[in-house]
Every structure is written in structure tokens, then in C-alpha cells.
């Protein structure tokens, strides 16, 4: 059962609709009890880091999520701010992150951008997988995904890198450490590529 963490942020219904079309069991989890049947977890997120972390911390699901992810090793996929929340902290705020990665979230340095490139990074962009199994299995060259963000994920351990993207500079657009995975882009808005990625996640 794919459980989408519904703590008040993120387009949870879009994920649910995709999995229903794929005939993959899915549920929206609004309480800790709702997470009990999860085999896989999706943590969506939009907006500011502190607001998202505060909403999750107040949802009553934080402790159960930590247990499922860190102790039971359930596969989890963080999307956009949901990925950023997996870090220790963010330049965007003061609230502690989930600390599932030894990582920080940094604001892009616009002074290093080329002409006409500015924040936020919004729209379609190439994603270059570092690993072509797992989440990026069966992907051809030139996969493109939809982005909307001004901050990027910076893990201390480069072996956590899963994919990269160029916007001004090359940045890390996907990370993985064991069962914990995050992507900066929005697969639910990325047509066929996003559907394939979500299907791959369900198969992990």
C-alpha cells in the first residue's frame, strides 16, 4: 500500500490519481494509524521549509514516520520541499529538519547564474540519473521533469547523490540513502516520466 502523507501540504490527490490509474493500492494518511498499512511512503511538500516542518510536526505523524523509515526501513520518497525536509536544516528557516540525511538545504547563488536565469527555478528541466536502477529504471536519455524551487539539497556524503540537474550551476536533484529517497522535482506534474518514476518507486 502506497501511503501519501496528507499533513495539509502538497498535491496529494494528484499522486493518488496516478496510482489509481496504475492499479496500485494507495491511501491518503492523515493520522499515525492511517500509516499502519504502508509498504511505501510518499512525503510531498510545497511552500516554505519552516511552515512545512511545523505542519508535519503538528500532524501527529512525525514519530510514526521516523519509526517506519528509520527502524522498519520502509521505502520513502520525499517530493520538492518533502525532500528538503529530510535534511538537518535549511537556509530558509530555523526549524530542524527530519535529519534522515546528513545534509543542509541551501539558497541558490544568483550571482553565479548566467544571463536571464533567475529564481525561482520554475519549469521543465533535464534530470541526469547517476544510478539507472531503482527509481530511474527504464529511463531513456533526456528525461525531463517539472521544477519549482529556489533552494537545493546539499548532502555531506556525495554517495547519497541520485541525480543532478543544471540551473545556473549543476545541483543535486535527487538523493538516496538506502530506503530514503528524495527528488527536488514534481513527478506528479511531469507526465510520462513522472508516472514511470512513481511506478518504479512502488516496485522498490
Residue 19: strand, helix, or coil: helix
- The radius of gyration of the chain's CA atoms, rounded to the nearest angstrom, is 16
32 phi-psi bin (left φ>0, alpha ψ -120 to 50, beta other): alpha
Residue found by looking up cell 537556509 in the block: 91
Look at residue 140 in the predicted model and tell me its pLDDT.
78
The structure's pTM equals 0.95
Look at residue 111 in the predicted model and tell me its pLDDT.
72
What is the spatial distance between Cα 125 and Cα 122, in angstroms, rounded to a whole number?
Answer: 9
Packed helices 191-202 and 12-21: angle between N→C axes, nearest 10 degrees: 80
What cell was used for 86? Answer: 529530510
pLDDT in tens, the chain (204 residues): 999 999 998 889 999 999 999 999 999 999 999 998 999 999 999 999 999 999 999 999 999 999 999 999 999 999 999 999 999 999 999 999 999 999 999 999 877 676 667 889 999 999 999 988 899 998 877 889 999 999 999 999 999 999 999 998 899 999 999 999 999 999 999 999 999 999 999 999
CATH value at residue 40: 3.40.50.880
Would you please indicate which residues are annotated as catalytic (active-site) residues?
80, 186, 188
The whole domain housing 158 covers: 2-202
Burial class (CB in 10 A: 0-12, 13-18, 19+), 12: buried
CA-closest candidate to residue 121, choices 174, 165, 182, 176: 165
Residue 25 per-residue DSSP state:
-
Look at residue 115 in the predicted model and tell me its pLDDT.
64
What is the spatial distance between Cα 176 and Cα 159, in angstroms, rounded to a whole number?
Answer: 8
What is the spatial distance between Cα 159 and Cα 139, in angstroms, rounded to a whole number?
Answer: 21
Cβ(172)–Cβ(131) below 8 Å: no
First-to-final CA distance of the chain: 12
Question: How many domains are contained in the chain?
Answer: 1
Amino acid at each position: 500500500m502506497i501511503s501519501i502523507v496528507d499533513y495539509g501540504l502538497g498535491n496529494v490527490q494528484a499522486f493518488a490519481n496516478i496510482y489509481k490509474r496504475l492499479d496500485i493500492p494507495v491511501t491518503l494518511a492523515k493520522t499515525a494509524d492511517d500509516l499502519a498499512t504502508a509498504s511505501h511512503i510518499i512525503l510531498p511538500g510545497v511552500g516554505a521549509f519552516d511552515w512545512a516542518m511545523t505542519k508535519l510536526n503538528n500532524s501527529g505523524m512525525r514519530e510514526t514516520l521516523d519509526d517506519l523509515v528509520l527502524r522498519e526501513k520502509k521505502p520513502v520518497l520525499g517530493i520538492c520541499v518533502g525532500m528538503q525536509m529530510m535534511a538537518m536544516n535549511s537556509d530558509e528557516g530555523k526549524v530542524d529538519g527530519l535529519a534522515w540525511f546528513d545534509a543542509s538545504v541551501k539558497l541558490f547563488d544568483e550571482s553565479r547564474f548566467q544571463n536571464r536565469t533567475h529564481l525561482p527555478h520554475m519549469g521543465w528541466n533535464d534530470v541526469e540519473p547517476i544510478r539507472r536502477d531503482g527509481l530511474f529504471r527504464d529511463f531513456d536519455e533526456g528525461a525531463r521533469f517539472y521544477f519549482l524551487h529556489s533552494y537545493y539539497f546539499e548532502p555531506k556524503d556525495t554517495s547519497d547523490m541520485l541525480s543532478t540537474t543544471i540551473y545556473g550551476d549543476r545541483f543535486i536533484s535527487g538523493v538516496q540513502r538506502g530506503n530514503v529517497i528524495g527528488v527536488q522535482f514534481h513527478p506528479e506534474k511531469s507526465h510520462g516520466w513522472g508516472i514511470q518514476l512513481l511506478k518504479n518507486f512502488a516496485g522498490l
